[in-house]
Amino acid sequence: MTERPRQYILAREGWIHVAVVLLAAAAVQWWAGWVWALPLWLLVLFVVQFFRDPPRRIPDEPAAVISPADGRIIAVDEVHDPYLDRTARRISIFMNVFNVHANRIPVSGTVRQRWYHPGRFVNAALDKASSENERNALWIHADEDCEVVVVQVAGLIARRILCYAGEGDRVQRGERFGFIRFGSRVDIFLPAGSSIRVALGDRVAGGRDVLASLPH
């Protein structure tokens, strides 16, 4: 079983970042006063809000696909799934720098395969980011006996995709499985018969909001 981080209000991926800017702000205020330190204290607030990781109440609705990320729905369409070579329904979520960037498992099941693709860092809001940017994909065989692929996509300034789930892992809906730093996108490919329950422009919260229902 791949090791995964425990749940905290502040993501463990941000502890070093917060510590560095906090010490820098304190040092500048000690030596030069609060006026000079003010920009650094504002930076502390930004870094803390970026790495926040609030607990979420996970829906227990049967066959529900929950959002793997916080953000705005920027694509709801029928596409060719490049990972499983099938026609699939795709939902894409864009995360800006003010969203929670922890990623959550959308369906309960078993991870069949994981793919990592190096790539570019174009604006994650652009459709070509799904195929050109650095990305990490998980193929999950859901308990409903169907296949779901969730893809972490790096963004314009994102330079680090973290994933804690691996092939053979048993995963639970709403479980935290990864993190993307500083603006990014998450795509989810669902079976063609899935019922979509969100629309373009909707704001969703990872681990809380239902995106779709899997076919029975």
d(CA 104, CA 206): 6
Please report the pLDDT score of residue 134 as a whole number.
Answer: 81
How far is Cα 191 from Cα 189, in angstroms, rounded to an integer? 7
Give residue-wise pLDDT tens across range 14-56.
677 778 888 988 888 888 888 888 888 888 888 777 777 888 8
**Reported confidence tier of residue 3, pLDDT bands at 50, 70, 90:** very low
Higher per-residue pLDDT: 118 or 166: 166
Confidence of residue 156 (pLDDT cuts 50, 70, 90): low
Residue 157: pLDDT above 60?
Answer: no
- Contacts of residue 35, defined as CB under 8 A and 6 or more positions apart, other chains included, come to none
* SS3 call for 46: helix
Q: Which residues are catalytic?
A: 184
Residue 119, pLDDT > 80, answer no
What CATH code would you report for 64-213?
2.70.70.10
% pLDDT > 90, the chain = 48
**Which residue did the predictor score with more confidence, 213 or 43?**
213
The whole-number pLDDT of residue 48 equals 79
pLDDT score of 126 more than 60:
no
Domain boundary assignment for the chain? 12-50, 64-213
Whether this model's pTM surpasses 0.85: no
Q: How many CB atoms lie within 10 A of CB 103?
A: 30
Q: How confident is the model at residue 120 (pLDDT cuts 50, 70, 90)?
A: low
Q: For residue 81, what pLDDT is reported?
A: 95
CB 53 within 8 A of CB 207: no
